[in-house]
Amino acid sequence: MEILEFDTVILGGGPAGFSAGMYAARGAVSTAIIDTNIMGGQPSNYLELENYPAMKRIDGFDLMEKFEEHADMFGVKKFPMQEIEFVDLVSNPKVIKTKEYEFRSKTVIIATGAKPMKLGVKGEAEYTGRGVSYCAVCDGAFYKDKVVAVVGGGNSAVEEAIYLTKFASKVYIIHRRNELRADKIIQQRAFKNPKIDFIWDSVVDEIKGIEKVDRIAIHNVKTNQASEIKVDGIFPYIGITPNVEYFNSQIKQDSKGFILTDETMKTSIDGVYAIGDVRNTPLRQVITAASDGAVGAVYAVKYIETLKEITV
Ligand code: NAP
């Protein structure tokens, strides 16, 4: 196995990771970004962003290509599609082993992001890929003139429901309360959209079908009334859970698993920083992820400099 040494290794090639890569490389420290997938992170699956300053409207995939090109400009080394087998954040140097390489690094910046939460109902696992999808941009086109349900009331649920109306004949938004959590501007667009029907105060109990999804069982949490609605697809967007599988026992996290940091993005371990959606942050946006990346990388570089002073 090839051993590679860096001053900083960034886990995750999304907006937080690329921003950190740029700032670290500009701080003249050797920098690598490792990703378990192709580079780009969650925004690569967004159709369009309209709240990244100076971009007005940009495709999520295009924006992430720009992030990547910008990190390339400063010579950040990239390792996509890495299967991580082992992470030791406490040792010195810190060690990350993948199937192909052993990375040794003075600092680690965790930018692994988050993944969609599951509903946890009967039929969800069974019909995933056969009517249950967590990515409207990836699968929306399969639902031309069909009826779909989106579950949740946050930005993701409402934005993706609006996107699905490009294909589907009807989109139900099933929300457990009678008020949406999504930003007001997004709510207004959904309320105006004639293809969207809201099912308030309701939760999904089961996803049913023969071979693929054909209906879902729901109940109203206020009246307890149960019913079934015919749908061809269901898109749960009920929040996210952090990608922390490799460091769970090593680092301090909140009750939902998000990594705790101070204002410099430092975690409970010296030389380890967490940035973007994986950390306990009040706002999860591309701009806040990028901002976290700048702060975390600058403080990682300062930490590397203190190590040099100790060795001299
Ligand atoms: P979120 O904001 O946490 O919303 C999750 C929604 O799912 C909430 O409406 C919640 O209901 C509901 N929910 C949670 N658990 C549920 C369950 N077990 N059963 C049924 N419903 C459940 O998550 P998100 O929409 O995925 O967004 C994640 C983060 O990314 C947020 O910070 C969001 O603002 C950000 N984001 C931003 C944009 C944008 O700015 N354009 C786009 C996408 C995401 P309650 O409301 O009752 O809690």
Task: Quote the pLDDT of residue 273.
Answer: 98
Please report how many Cα atoms fall inside a 13 Å half-sphere around the Cα of residue 288, on the Cβ side. Answer: 14
174, 199 Cβ separation under 8 angstroms: yes
- Residue 177 Cβ inside 6 Å of ligand 1? The answer reads yes
Q: What separation in Å is there between the alpha carbon of 202 and the centre of ligand 1?
A: 15
What distance, in Å, lies between the first and last C-alpha atoms of the chain? 31
Q: Which CATH architecture has domain 2-115+240-311?
A: 3-Layer(bba) Sandwich (3.50)
So where are the chain's domains?
A: 2-115+240-311, 118-236
| Tokens (6 digits) for 241 | 């859970």
Q: Ligand 1 mean position to 158 CA, how many Å?
A: 9
Comparing C-alpha atoms, which of 12, 45, 20 is closest to residue 299? 20
Cβ contacts of 310 within 8 Å, gap of 6 or more = none
The residue-averaged pLDDT of 37-42 equals: 93
Pocket lining: 241 vs ligand 1, CB cutoff 6 Å: no
Q: Is 138 a catalytic residue?
A: yes
Neighbours of 56 (CB within 10 A): 9
50 falls in which pLDDT band (50, 70, 90)? confident
- The mean per-residue pLDDT over the stretch 90-116 comes to 96
Report the predicted TM-score, pTM, of the whole model to 2 decimal places.
0.88
Q: Whose CA is nearest to atom 3 of ligand 1?
A: 239
Above 80 in pLDDT, residue 47?
no
Task: Work out whether strand 202-210 and strand 196-199 pair parallel, antiparallel, or are unpaired.
Answer: unpaired
**Binding site membership of 176 for ligand 1 (Cβ less than 6 Å):** yes
Average pLDDT across the chain, whole number: 95
- Catalytic hit among 72, 88, 135, 214: 135
Is the CB of residue 170 below 6 angstroms from any atom belonging to ligand 1? no
Q: Measure 153 CA to ligand 1 centroid, in angstroms.
A: 6
Looking at domain 118-236, its CATH superfamily turns out to be FAD/NAD(P)-binding domain (3.50.50.60)
- Whether 2-115+240-311 shares its CATH topology with 118-236 is answered yes
Would you say 267 and 273 are in contact if contact means Cβ atoms under 8 Å apart?
yes
Mean pLDDT of 126-147: 93
Residue with CA at minimum distance from ligand 1 atom 34: 155
Q: Residue 214's closest CA among 261, 279, 149, 299?
A: 149
- Residue 139 catalytic? yes
CB distance 153 to ligand 1 below 6 Å: yes
Q: What's the pLDDT score for residue 84?
A: 95
- pLDDT score for 49: 86
What the block records as the tokens of 45 is 């699956």
Contact 219, 225 (CB under 8 A): yes
**Residues 82, 136: Cα–Cα separation, whole Å:** 26
- Cα 304 to ligand 1 centroid, rounded to whole Å: 37
Residue 157 Cα distances to 110, 173, 185, 194, 297, angstroms = 26, 8, 14, 17, 32
Position 137 scores a pLDDT of 82
With a 6 A CB cut-off, is 236 part of the ligand 1 pocket?
A: no
Report the distance separating Cα 312 and Cα 307, nearest Å: 9
* Statement: residue 311 has pLDDT above 90: no
CA 91 to chain centre: 28
DSSP string for residues in 94-122 = EEEEESSEEEEEEEEEE---EEEPP---B
User: Is it the case that residue 312 has pLDDT exceeding 80?
Assistant: no
